[in-house]
Amino acid sequence: MQPKLLRVLDNNKIVRIGGTYERELDVRVLSATNRNLLNEVTKGSFRQDLYFRLNVINLRIPPLRNRKEDILELAAYFLKSLNEENKGVNKTFSKALENKLKEYEWTGNVRELKNIIQRAYYMSDGEVIRNVALPKSRNVKQTKETVSLNLKEIERDSIVQALHFNNRNVLKAAKDLNISKATIYRKIKAYSIDLDNFDKLVQ
């Protein structure tokens, strides 16, 4: 699938199943993963050229346990969806339950939250959901992550990665990034990327 997706991203054209001619596309691709794609590229399980095509703007979303302010908002969204699916039912959370949700370490992330809300919804007899069965808390080391990186930092990081994967070959890196030779040299100068001491940048 990877070479096929790469071809679509390069040409902006597809052939429908059973079709005989190419159709133009006007789309913007959003992709998500819970894997470290740079490691996958190194292992050979993910194409390097596809990685650079997809990695235009990179948003790093921290785990749910590191953004407690989102827990109740997400829980309310899942609850609203369940109420809409079950016409005539309008269940709500008790205050005690909301506090319990905020205090729990969501090691399973948003999917775990959604599953637990669904279980509590269907196990609750009354209109107010007062309790929820939560797994025993597991000690998970907290990691500091940012929701998004500064766009200039993303651009600089992408250039460094491309140079790294291409053994500092500037022309090959430019091709991977789909930018011109003049542009990549200008960016290297603007971001003070020292090609003579490059190893320090990728440690």
Looking at beta carbons, which pairs linking 74-78 to residues 24 or more positions away fall under 8 Å? 74/110, 74/113, 74/114, 75/101, 75/113, 75/117, 78/113, 78/114, 78/117, 78/118
User: What's the mean pLDDT in 104-127?
Assistant: 87
Question: What phi and psi values does residue 88 have, to the nearest 5 degrees?
Answer: 90, -5
User: What's the mean pLDDT in 29-53?
Assistant: 89
pLDDT at residue number 145: 42
Q: What is the pLDDT of residues 80-90, one digit of tens each?
A: 999 999 888 99
User: What's the mean pLDDT in 129-141?
Assistant: 68
Report the 10 Å Cβ neighbour count for 176.
24
Smallest CA-to-CA distance from 113 within 84, 57, 73, 159 is with 73
Q: Which two tokens stand for residue 78?
A: 């899942």
Ramachandran area for residue 10 (φ above 0: left; ψ -120 to 50: alpha; else beta) = alpha
Q: What is the pLDDT of residues 156-194, one digit of tens each?
A: 878 888 888 788 899 988 887 878 889 899 999 988 888
C-alpha to C-alpha distance for 54 and 5, rounded to whole angstroms: 10
Pick the more confident residue, 197 or 76. 76
Q: Residue ranges of the domains in the chain? A: 2-60+146-202, 64-129
pLDDT at 140 over 50: no
pLDDT at 33 over 50: yes
**Which residues have a Cβ under 8 Å from the Cβ of 45 and sit 6 or more positions away?**
none
> Given pLDDT bands bounded at 50, 70 and 90, which one contains residue 128?
very high
Pick the more confident residue, 79 or 39. 79
The conformation of residue 98, written as its DSSP 8-state character, comes to H
> Given pLDDT bands bounded at 50, 70 and 90, which one contains residue 151?
low
Q: Which fold has domain 64-129?
A: Helicase, Ruva Protein; domain 3 (1.10.8)
